[in-house]
Amino acid sequence: MVPADRAAKFNKKRSLVTAMRKLQAIAVHKRTAHHIYHISKSRDLIANLRDTLSGLGFSGLQTSILLAPLGDPDDNFSARPYSSRLYTDRYFVLENPEYLVEVFFGQRRAVLSIFGRRRPLARDLFADRFVFS
């Protein structure tokens, strides 16, 4: 169990980082029911991905699976600092009634794949979350 003061400190840092930085998109492929985003890996990637996925209705508990390489995802807290090496050749799947999300971390980039289950995906989905290079 993570002490409340450490968790609060982490969440405060996470919210500040998320508010300041957007995800750097390298490439985007959009179909009616499937979007694929190629994202540059950065120190803020996990926090930003978790925040972005919360916009699709995923809870903090569901997105905590992305913290697994950093330590203890069961407590929704990362025990180690982010390292790109920890997130090389990692694959995660998140599901809810509306979306199926796959996240793959490669050596230099991450791939976020979103499938709409019940209705077509909006063309401008996440337009405010990405900076395009």
Residues spanned by the domain of 122: 4-132
Nearest 10 degrees: Cα torsion 39, 53, 6, 8:
130
The pLDDT value given to residue 74: 62
Is beta strand 71-72 parallel, antiparallel or unpaired with respect to 77-78?
Answer: antiparallel
The pLDDT value given to residue 17: 42
Q: What's the number of domains the chain is made of?
A: 1
Give the residue from 87, 14, 89, 86 showing the smallest Cα distance to 52.
14
Give the residue from 57, 74, 104, 78 showing the smallest Cα distance to 11.
78
Reading the block at residue 53, the tokens are 């996925």
The pLDDT value given to residue 6: 46
| Beta-sheet strands, E only, within 1-129 | 23-30, 34-40, 71-72, 77-78, 90-95, 99-105, 109-116
The pLDDT value given to residue 129: 84
CA gap 54, 28 in Å, rounded: 20
pLDDT per position in the chain (133 positions), as tens? 344 454 454 454 444 444 547 888 999 999 999 999 999 998 889 989 999 999 899 998 899 899 888 876 666 556 778 888 889 999 999 999 999 999 999 999 999 999 998 888 888 888 888 887 7
**Under a CB-based contact definition with an 8 Å cutoff, are residues 56 and 113 in contact?**
no
The pLDDT value given to residue 75: 63
Q: How many CB atoms lie within 10 A of CB 88?
A: 13
Give the number of residues written for the chain: 133
